[in-house]
Structure 1
Amino acid sequence: MDTLNSSVTKRYLPWVVAAALFMEQLDATIVNTAIPSIAASFDVTPLSLKSVVSSYILALAVGIPVSGWMADRFGTRRVFSIAIIVFTIASILCGLAVTPEMMVAARMLQGLGGAMMMPVGRLAIIRTFPKSELLGAMNFVIIPALIGPLLGPTVGGLIVHWFSWRYIFFINVPVGIIALFLVYRYMPDHASEHKRPLDVPGLILFSSGTALLSWLLEVFGEHTLAPMTALAVLGVSLGLLLAYAVHASNAQFPLLRLGLFRIRTFRISVLGGFVTRMGFGGLPFLLPLLYQVGMGLPAWKSGLLMMPSAIAAMGMKLFSQRLLKRFGYRQILIVNTICIGVTITTFSQVDSGTPLAAIAALGLMQGFFASMQFSSMNSLAYADIDAKDSSMASTMSSSFQQLSMSFGLAAGSLVAGWYLGNVVKTDPVLVTNALHHAFLTLGLITAASSFLFWRLKPNDGESISRGAVAE
């Protein structure tokens, strides 16, 4: 345990984690607005560059389980520092990339750095704050982090409009230096007294299965695989994941302890969140394409249209705790999930004739509901988790969150690519029609996930929402 004073730690730790999340979220969103410009620079189609976005999130999903083990063994401060250094160096490499392959490789390295940042920061929060203060602490961390999505599309659009897209990656350098300073000064050094061994077979099985499945979704959307080949790859990936489930049930120290899914609130939060994020996860990639390719807007205007969603998301964080206390997790998650699905499907009506004010209003609604949803799902996962299982719960929750976002990006581009087929992908009308089908599909998936939250009980999560540990 670190020697930092407890009150000092509680005061500054959220800022430390928020600084790292700001850098990660800024980079995750700033590249979306620049996708058409990057595609023109590499002489490829915008849809073919979805791997630039999905590879980053896939690397997060694969690397997160290892980061939990690293934090337990080497301490949160050391791992967090290494993560920031790796992320910053990878950002420089992204800016220097001259081919799509180099960009994807650098983005994967970025993802590995982000994989060590996000769960380790969350672990530090969970181990520092009692459960009754957890929702407020996590909300505080997320509020500054949302500045990244707020500034990302706008700054990215302005940089692409006035300079080169390469500069969008170089702005991580000063942010990384500031975050590294905060880590060394204020990050507590939590480490486990019992050093569990790394589950290497489990890591190989889980990582291989998830990587193959995400890759299959990506290439299937481009129609580059024969049906029988695609089925074979699908069978291998599902077989690897099933083999991991069997392995985890018999391993003494599994990479992800699946037995935690026996806890109802944790199971519903993670699985319901997986489906919800899978539907929602394609929007950061599809919306810039709709605005720039479909509607013909410049990059800076596309970025400005992303701002209302981030502003509403930041505002909702100030009210989420009151709403959860008043209505409870069950009622909030059922109704709010449907509202997110409705806002996503409404984007299928947006085209070049839609007033920009109406698009901004739709973005405000989307950010409002999405922020409420993620605050609820993220905190509900720890409502009935014992302190000794908090590290594993955080690792599993983070893994499934990032994996669902990767699947969401792949599913959204798959639907858009499917309707585009082999026609010219620069025709605004054809691109808009294909994107409309993608929005409808993602919206229905998100709305359908509300059924998973019906299995919650009215008093589930009160240990978090009411600030008192339940009996």
Structure 2
Amino acid sequence: MDTAATKRYLPWVVATALFMEQLDSTIVNTGIPAMAASLQVSPLSLKAVVTSYILSLAVCIPVSGWLAERYGTRRIFMFAVGLFTVSSVLCGLAVDSTMLIAARVPQGIAAAMMMPVGRIAIVRTFPKGELLRAMNFVIIPALLGPLLGPTVGGLIVHWLSWRDIFFVNVPVGMVAMWFAHRHMPDYRSAAPQPLDVRGFLLFGSGAALLSWLLEVFGEHSLGLGAGGALLATSLLLLAGYAWHARQVPFPLLRLTLLKVRTFRVSVLGGFVTRLGIGGMPFLLPLLYQLGLGLPAWQSGLLMMPAAAAAMGMKVISAPLLRRYGYRRVLVVNTVLIACTIGGYALVGPGTPIAGIVGLGLAMGLFNSLQFSSMNSMAYADIEEKDTAMASTFASTLQQMSMSFGLACGSLVAAWYLAGLPQTDPAAVMNALHHAFLTLAGVTLVSSLSFWALRPDDGDSVSRGTLPVGA
């Protein structure tokens, strides 16, 4: 294997696939009102189109590392890209909401293999001193996907049909397949461990039930007794997995990795932080379209400043981390994210466009720094033999947190909208303002978790011997 060529092109391979996966996770958000009108359902009920995708992704991520170890990173990655592309076509051909939700499930399964397998290849290819540079390159397309998704979705819905938002994955998928065939390294284990089937059933069913429960609370009236029973069942399943993981030699997710401080703070602190951030792609299109009365294409354009700011952060994130360290950057930046989310509670019909654009710039800037910092710090103290498990573990909790964040965002919005007409812009605006303040509070609390870091934590990544911003 040509190591120099692999290092040159591998970030492009992973970035292309991650862009497609992240774009598709949010591109439907701007099109939800048009979909609801076409399929004759309420906009809030269509959050299942988004949630089913993210939920199936989160549930299936834990087996991706095992698949890569057994069958090789190149084969699994290419299969995932192909499945994702085909599923996108099926979504575009859906005739009702049920078929659309069903087609989104294999999309999520494919994404569950693409993202962690790509991250495994990155972590195994680059030494820690070069890891932040590689992560910085990959994180930009991954951030641009959610940020450009509403813009692309809005323009497509305005000029074409909401069905066409799924067909944009076909050319991107073909490019990703070409890149993967030529430049994806084929890492695999000479002696793969057995699959922890019981652990997968316990963890997957517990996570799925908990996410479904959040969705049901936001959409239907559920009795306190039934809701409490379902919540207790999901928590028991997850607790059962925690007990099971300590009894078997090769658990699905090795919980002992949480003993590594930088990894623990990155995945657990990041979990809570993403709860607040995860609801924004769902709430912002509702604010712009239902609250301010903007058309879908204008709503999408208001997401563009965040995309530009995310790209700009690539240049300054590495110097910031080198100078101030992960601890100080994550504590301060998380507070800034909370303030930005809370700032959307001030947006109303009289708000200047410049003010909304400024909030978008701040959101893109701070989110880019946050994700780049948390994702790279997770591997600062992980041994090479544990990188595949660490990647799978981190990817699982990250996607679960985004799924829960989406569900919590819609749940909070539905809570504040209870009994109010969704056709009343003033009522919608007031409910969304309360939802933004709630998410800001959750994000602010999550900043406390990063105080557990030491000032020199992550230096092996942020102060590598190679220039990181190049």
TM-score > 0.5 by shorter chain:
yes
Match of residue 158, structure 2, among 156, 161, 178:
161
Does residue 180 (structure 1) correspond to residue 170 (structure 2)? The answer is no
Given that 2:26 and 2:50 are in contact with CA atoms closer than 8 Å, whether structure 1 keeps it comes out as no
Distance 1:362 1:150 in 2: 13
State the partner residue of 1:119.
116
Which sections of structure 1, spanning at least 5 residues, go unmatched?
Answer: none
Matches within 5 A, 1:19-418: 19-418=16-415
Q: What SS does the corresponding residue of 2:205 show, helix, strand or coil?
A: helix
Which of 38-47 and 253-262 deviates more? 38-47
Instruction: Please tell me the residue identity of whatever aligns with 1:315.
Output: G
1:468 offset after TM fit, Å? 5.5
1:419 offset after TM fit, Å? 1.2
Distance 2:190 2:367 in 1: 38
Percent identity of paired positions between Structure 1 and Structure 2:
66
Q: What SS does the corresponding residue of 1:251 show, helix, strand or coil?
A: coil
Distance 2:326 2:82 in 1: 38
State the partner residue of 1:438.
435
Distance 2:289 2:37 in 1: 13
Residue-by-residue CA offset, 1:348-397 (whole Å, 9 max, x unaligned): 11122211111011100111111111111111111110000111000000
Distance 2:464 2:79 in 1: 34
Distance 1:332 1:228 in 2: 43
**TM-score for both structures, normalised by structure 2:** 0.97
Residue-by-residue CA offset, 1:6-35 (whole Å, 9 max, x unaligned): 111111111111111111122122111111
Given that 1:159 and 1:167 are in contact with CA atoms closer than 8 Å, whether structure 2 keeps it comes out as yes
- Runs of 4+ in structure 1 over 4 Å off: none
Given that 1:282 and 1:412 are in contact with CA atoms closer than 8 Å, whether structure 2 keeps it comes out as yes
Matches within 5 A, 1:11-22: 11-22=8-19
Given that 2:30 and 2:154 are in contact with CA atoms closer than 8 Å, whether structure 1 keeps it comes out as yes
Instruction: Please tell me the residue identity of whatever aligns with 1:156.
Output: G
Given that 1:45 and 1:425 are in contact with CA atoms closer than 8 Å, whether structure 2 keeps it comes out as no
Q: What SS does the corresponding residue of 1:419 show, helix, strand or coil?
A: helix
Residue-by-residue CA offset, 1:317-349 (whole Å, 9 max, x unaligned): 121111000000010011100000000011011
Given that 1:153 and 1:306 are in contact with CA atoms closer than 8 Å, whether structure 2 keeps it comes out as yes
Q: What SS does the corresponding residue of 1:422 show, helix, strand or coil?
A: coil
- Number of paired residues? 466
Residue-by-residue CA offset, 1:244-301 (whole Å, 9 max, x unaligned): 0000011111000000001111111111000000111000000001100111000000
Distance 2:241 2:96 in 1: 35
Given that 1:222 and 1:418 are in contact with CA atoms closer than 8 Å, whether structure 2 keeps it comes out as no
Instruction: Please tell me the residue identity of whatever aligns with 1:346.
Output: G
Which sections of structure 2, spanning at least 5 residues, go unmatched?
Answer: none
Instruction: Please tell me the residue identity of whatever aligns with 1:304.
Output: L
1:194 offset after TM fit, Å? 2.0
Given that 1:150 and 1:311 are in contact with CA atoms closer than 8 Å, whether structure 2 keeps it comes out as no
Residue-by-residue CA offset, 1:153-189 (whole Å, 9 max, x unaligned): 2221111011110001011111111111111111110
Q: What SS does the corresponding residue of 2:440 show, helix, strand or coil?
A: helix
Instruction: Please tell me the residue identity of whatever aligns with 1:122.
Output: R
Residue-by-residue CA offset, 1:184-237 (whole Å, 9 max, x unaligned): 111110101221011000000000000000001111112421111000000000
Distance 2:50 2:70 in 1: 31
Distance 1:228 1:426 in 2: 32
Q: Cα 1:61–1:259, aligned 2, differ >3 Å: closer, same or farther?
A: same
1:150 offset after TM fit, Å? 4.5
Q: What SS does the corresponding residue of 1:426 show, helix, strand or coil?
A: coil
1:59 offset after TM fit, Å? 1.2
Distance 2:140 2:367 in 1: 13
